[in-house]
């Protein structure tokens, strides 16, 4: 397909995202193609490892291409969104569970759906341009694509902070937050990829000293609050205007759900548990949340003035995260 360059070179399976003008945004077809390719390579003895990279210098993948989900939802068709998120999450799980090394080279913007592609690889490489974020609360969604699983494993209260604010991480913070593994200057990546294609040996990868992190020095104690109002009150006491600005800008329902889901993910044994919980929200998102309004404001009309309408009450939160019955995300059933 035109949006992906899938091939084998030497001992490596290669998947390259090829939509640089769209910041390599992930479409439904791309998600399915990546999953199908991994299924094909799963037991192929000629494939020793998989390399995932992307064309262009601005983004590895800046998120999911959700325009089709938006337009279908506006028209009252909520199945398009459910199908997209279901197939995307199954692809995310396939990356995490792949039995061979997957090496992801993540330059530029790595956001939302891009984290779902690169953030679950076994070897996650970042460089000087890398900016990783889970900004979904700004569009009325929640950190998904296994994002709550990753956030729940970040040290301290970093997970809550990133989920609620959507803050961006450069290389040092991404490694500290366990969203990446190795810092390697991007000028070295082509030679490193060529070496991996020949050797098929991901164990040979060695990182450089990472740029200093900043999150380890920031007081994030406010994000241990019981709920979002308590967190806001604590931030007001601290005078943390940057964090307050983000929390006052983002969807109250999305932040309440993201906070609950990051904390719930800390008790999960497998990423699939986190993904299934995320799907309960996103399957309902186009019909019952702020998602369509957030996409309108940030992506469609770009006025950056969403009119959030969903309340963030406990009853609403419980309804958004309630089991889906027959529509629960399935892992073992046939496709």
Joined together, the tokens standing for residue 118 give 């690169």
Is 330 a member of any domain? no
Instruction: Give the pair of three-digit tokens for residue 165.
Output: 């604010």
Distance CA 296, CA 174 (A): 29
Residue 328 lies in a domain: no
Query: Quick one: pLDDT at residue 334?
Result: 39
Residue 235 included in any domain:
yes
Structural domain includes residue 9: yes
95 to each of 123, 179, 183, 234, 255, how far by Cα in Å? 11, 15, 21, 38, 27
What CATH number corresponds to the domain at position 171?
A: 3.90.226.10
Structural domain includes residue 331: no
Count of structural domains, the chain: 1
What tokens does 40 get?
């094909």
Residues belonging to the active site: 64, 113, 136, 144
Beta strands in the chain (DSSP E): 4-9, 12-17, 49-54, 59-61, 102-106, 109-111, 123-126, 131-133, 182-183
**332: in domain:** no
Contact 48, 12 (CB under 8 A): yes
Q: Is residue 173 part of a domain?
A: yes
Q: CA-CA distance, 7 to 37, in Å (whole number)?
A: 10
Question: Cα angle at 144 between 140 and 145, to 5 degrees?
Answer: 140
Q: Residue written as tokens 């953030």? A: 119
Residue 245 is classified by DSSP as H
pLDDT of residue 330: 87
Q: Are 204 and 243 in contact (CB under 8 A)?
A: no
For the chain of 335 residues, list the mean pLDDT of each consecutive stretch of 10: 94 98 97 98 97 98 94 97 98 98 98 98 98 97 98 98 98 98 98 98 95 94 98 97 96 98 98 98 97 96 95 96 95 55
> Residue 70 and residue 65: Cα distance in Å, rounded?
10
Which residue range is the domain that position 208 belongs to? 4-323
């Amino acid at each position: 397909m035109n949006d992906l360059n899938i091939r084998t070179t030497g001992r490596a399976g290669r998947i390259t995202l090829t939509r640089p003008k769209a910041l390599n945004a992930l479409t439904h077809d791309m998600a399915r193609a990546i999953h199908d390719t991994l299924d094909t390579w799963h037991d192929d003895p000629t494939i020793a490892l998989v390399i995932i990279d992307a064309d262009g210098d601005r983004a590895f993948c800046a998120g999911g291409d959700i325009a089709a989900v938006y337009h279908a939802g506006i028209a009252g068709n909520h199945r398009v969104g459910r199908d997209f998120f279901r197939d995307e999450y199954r692809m995310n799980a396939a990356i995490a569970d792949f039995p061979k090394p997957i090496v992801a080279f993540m330059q530029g913007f790595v956001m939302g759906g891009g984290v779902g592609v690169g953030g679950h690889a076994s070897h996650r490489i970042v460089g000087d341009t890398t900016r990783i974020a889970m900004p979904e609360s700004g569009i009325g969604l929640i950190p998904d694509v296994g994002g709550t699983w990753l956030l729940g494993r970040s040290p301290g209260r970093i997970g809550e902070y990133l989920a609620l604010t959507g803050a961006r991480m450069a290389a040092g913070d991404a490694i500290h937050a366990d969203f990446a593994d190795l810092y390697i200057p991007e000028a070295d990546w082509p030679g490193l990829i060529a070496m991996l294609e020949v050797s098929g040996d991901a164990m040979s990868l060695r990182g450089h000293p990472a740029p200093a992190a900043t999150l380890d020095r920031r007081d994030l104690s406010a994000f241990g609050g019981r709920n979002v109002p308590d967190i806001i009150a604590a931030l007001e006491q601290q005078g943390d205007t940057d964090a307050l600005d983000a929390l006052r800008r983002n969807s109250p329902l999305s932040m309440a759900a993201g906070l609950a889901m990051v904390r719930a993910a800390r008790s999960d044994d497998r990423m699939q548990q986190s993904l299934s919980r995320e799907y309960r929200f996103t399957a309902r998102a186009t019909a019952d949340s702020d998602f369509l309004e957030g996409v309108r404001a940030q992506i469609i009309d770009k006025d950056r003035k969403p009119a959030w309408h969903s309340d963030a009450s406990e009853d609403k939160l419980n309804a958004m995260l309630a089991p889906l019955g027959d529509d629960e995300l399935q892992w073992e059933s046939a496709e």
